[in-house]
Amino acid sequence: MLRITADFLCSEWSFTVKAVLIAIVSVVLLAVIALLVSEAVGKRDISAVAPPPQVDAEKQDLQCDRTADPVVSDEPGPETVIAPQIPEDVSDAESAASKNVIELRDAAELEDDGNTESGTMIYGDTRIKVRYDRSFAAMLIQSDDTLKGYYSELRNEIDRCKFKQRMSWSNESFYKGRKTFAKFAIRGKTLSLYIALDPTAYENSKYTFKNVGETAKYRDVPMQLKIRSDRAVRWAKELIAVLAEKSGTQLAELPKKNYRPDYKDTKSLVREKLIKLQCVASPGRSEQELEQAAVASLKQQDKAPRDFSTKLMRADSLTKARYSAVKNELLRYGMKPRMSTSYESWYIGRTTYAKFAIRGKTLTLYMALDPKEFEGTKYNFRNMSTVGKYETVPMRINLKSDRAERWVKELIATLAEKKGWQRVELGEEDFRYVKKKRKKSK
C-alpha cells in the first residue's frame, strides 16, 4: 500500500496537484477522528445522567405502601372548593395520608364489602382492599333525608347572617372578615353545628351542647350542637340569632333555598373526587385479606336498597316531586298511609286502595281499579291481577312523566267516584323528603 502511494506521488503529476490531494485526504482523516472522539465522549456523558428504569405506570399506581398501615388524620383538609378541583396546598397530616391514596381507573370496578366504610377495587386480575375517606360534601350527599332537612333549615338561617361560605374536606365554614363564626361537620350519621359562642355562658341553660374549645380546629367555634331533632334545630336557630347580634349583623329576610343534595352512589363520588380511596391491602401484602374481600364481593348479588323509604330517599328530585304530588291527592280523598318494608299502602277501614312501590329507579302506583274497564283508553298501565299480592290493587301505572302524574290523579278521582268519596281541599304539603322515626332513648 505504501509502495502504491509512493508510486502515485512520484508520478508525473505537478507538485500543486499532489499538494491539493494530500490536503484533502488529511482533512477527511481529521474529520473521521473528530467524529469518533465526539461519539465516545457523548456516550459517557449520557450514561452518567441517564434516569433509572421506569416502572409500568399502571402497575405502580395500583401498588400501596407495603411498610405501613394507612394514616388517617382527623385534621381538616385545605380550605378550598371540594369539586371538581383537587386541593393544591395539602397539609402535612394529609400529605402523610395521601401516600396510600389511589385513583379509581376508568376500567376499574368498585365493590362495597357489605358496609359503608370499605370496599374492593377490581382492576383486571388485581383486587385491592380500600377504605373510604369521605369529604363533608360526600357525607351530606349520602346522608338520609332527615339530616339533609336539618342541614337545609340551618343553612338558610346562617345565610340570613350574610356570612361568607367556604368548604374544606371535613367541614363547611362560615366567616366574616378573618373570623370564623360557624362550622358544619358530619360524624357518622349526626350533623353537628359549631358556633362562636362561649359555652361557659350557657351552662345550666336549656341548651344541650359540648365545649370543644380545647381542640385546635374548633378553638374559634367552641360550642358544638348535635342536631338530632326538630327541637335541636329550634335551639340552634335561637343561638344563631344571638351569634348574629354579637357579630353586629342584622338577620336578613331571604327566600328559603333547597340545600338538600340528591343521593349519589360511592363510585360516582370517587370519580368526582369527593371520596378518596385509602389503600388497606395490595396483592403483595395480605393475600388472606384479599381473599376474604373477594369472597365477600362474590356473595353480594344485589347491593340495591330493599326498603321503600331508603329507595325514596335515594331517588332523584323529579321522582320525589311526583310522589309528593300524588300523595297529597290521596290524602284529599280521606285515605291513610301505612309504610311497610317494600311499599307504602293507602287504605280506608281495612281495605287497601293504592300502593306505592319503587322498581329500579321508577316510582309505581298500584290502584284498586279493574284494568279491563280501561282497555283501549288513553291510559298506559299494566294488569297485575294474576300476581297474588296485587289482586286487590291490579292496575299498575309507572310515574315516569308529568302526563302520567295527571293520569293518576284522574284515576284517583274515578276510584273516589266509584266509592262515593268526597274530595276535600287541603293545602299542598311537601312529602319529598323521608323523615325516619328515631328510637326514643330509655
Q: What is the pLDDT of residues 131-183, one digit of tens each?
A: 889 999 999 999 999 999 999 999 999 999 999 999 999 999 999 988 999 99
**Span 237-272, pLDDT tens digits:** 999 999 999 888 889 999 999 999 999 988 889 889
Residue 114 pLDDT level (bands cut at 50, 70, 90) = low
- Structure confidence at residue 27 (pLDDT): 81
- What's the whole-number mean pLDDT along residues 398-406? 94
pLDDT exceeds cutoff 60 at 60: no
**Span 118-130, pLDDT tens digits:** 777 777 677 777 8
The DSSP element (H or E) to which 268 belongs, if any, is helix 266-271
- Structure confidence at residue 70 (pLDDT): 36
Supply the DSSP symbol for 67.
Answer: S
Beta bridge partners of 167: 172
Mean pLDDT of the chain: 79
pLDDT exceeds cutoff 90 at 210: yes
**Span 334-369, pLDDT tens digits:** 999 998 888 999 999 989 999 999 988 899 999 999
Give dist(CA 222, CA 209) in Å, integer.
10
Query: How far is C-alpha 334 from the geometric centre of its chain's CA atoms?
Result: 40
Give dist(CA 270, CA 324) in Å, integer.
31
Question: Residue 217 is placed in which grid cell?
Answer: 380546629
**Higher pLDDT residue, 436 or 434?**
434
H runs (alpha helix) in 105-229: 136-141, 145-159
Beta bridge partners of 366: 355, 396
Taken in order 42, 44, 49, 53, the sign of the CA dihedral is positive
Beta carbons of 168 and 80 less than 8 angstroms apart: yes
CA distances from 129 to 102, 122, 203, 268, 412 (A): 11, 9, 46, 18, 51
- Structure confidence at residue 85 (pLDDT): 33
Question: Residue 324 is placed in which grid cell?
Answer: 309528593
